[in-house]
Amino acid sequence: MSENRIVGEIIDSSTAKPDNSGKSIADYKEEKSSERHYYGDALNDDNVNDVIDDVVPHVVVIVGFPKYGKSTFVASLYHAVLTIGKIGKFRFVDSDTITGFERRSQIRKLEHETKKRIDRTPVYADYFLSLLFENEENGQLIKIVLSDRSGEKYREYAKFEKVIEEDKALRYAKHILFFLDAKKIASDGFFDVQTDLRPLMIRMNKYGAFGDDKRIDVVFNKIDQAKDNPDYATNKSEILSLIKNVTPVNKEFELCSLKVTDNDKLNQFFVYLLDCCAEPKHNSEEDAAHIDWVNTELSNI
């Protein structure tokens, strides 16, 4: 059995290698995900629906290239949930993917301590993570499901039509979060960001990932390493234009997702995400009045 390995390894650069179990990435790809899935690990397309119960999940797809901080963000959310027990008015109740969070959390911790880059979400790793909360004000249960895929996947999406079509959540989820590396945008790496992002946007648009009923947010992560750079504002603006040329953007955020203490902006963003889940599906006033048949009839008699 090859399960339950922490698959990240500390590396000096982006030279991704297979882990030390003797299996190559291709070997893992050929295994059925469900066969190597641990209880509590992240989930995939084959098994994610199994954890849905009475609560309709709010699915957030986190889109971003390697090293942009997607998994760090997820781990920081998990850290906040475990240490405080709640996010704003939402009390943490349960998770079906504790092990999946733990993997990301462990690697975030190593990254923080060693100050080294860790290749933590291999392309073959499962990606859906779920958290269940209770709104303390009204008792409503809300479930957030995060799609945290390897950044390499999004490179593949930009290149190959067939690959992006396998990502059903990207097409059907109502909430997409673009994760961007502000540090890179503020540097010469800005051109690489453009080069990577442009074909991805085109491919996502063609696939039907955007639409009127979707909430598209953009997060500029690692802002602490970019905000003082004079080129950042201009470059950021160009990146935003690139995205907005393809789809309307709901909100923009500037965060440092690695820092978990005294980080109000990050905490406010967590609250925002959960508020999105808790938004009741409101019928229009006209529809609600129409359904209220008793008062319609009373006005006629």
Residues in the site for another protein, rule: CB under 8 A?
45, 48-50, 52-57, 59, 128, 145, 168-169, 172-173, 280-283, 285, 287-298, 301
Helix axes 232-244, 190-207, angle to 10 degrees: 10
What is the nearest approach in angstroms of another protein to the Cβ of residue 290? 5
Taking the complex as a whole, the smallest distance from the CB of residue 174 to another protein amounts, in Å, to 9
Q: How far apart are CA 223 and CA 186, in angstroms?
A: 10
Give the neighbor-by-neighbor strand order of the sheet with 175-181: 86-87, 90-94, 128-135, 141-148, 58-63, 175-181, 215-221, 251-254
Q: What's the DSSP call for residue 56?
A: P
Q: Which residue's CB is nearer to another protein, number 26 or number 294?
A: 294
- Residue 30 Cβ, how far from another protein at the closest point, in Å? 21
| Amino acid of residue 218 | V
In the complex, the smallest distance separating the C-beta of residue 179 from another protein, rounded to whole angstroms, is 19
Nearer to another protein, 63 or 145 (CB): 145
The helix (H) or strand (E) run that includes residue 202 is helix 190-207
Q: Cβ-count burial of 90 within 10 angstroms (0-12 exposed, 13-18 middle, 19+ buried)?
A: buried
Complex with another protein: residue 10 or 52, whichever CB lies closer: 52
Strands (E), 182-282: 215-221, 251-254
Closest approach of another protein to the CB of residue 301, in Å: 5
Contacts of 244 (CB under 8 A, 6+ apart): none
Closer CB to another protein, 109 or 290, in the complex: 290
Between 24 and 49, name the residue whose CB sits nearer to another protein: 49
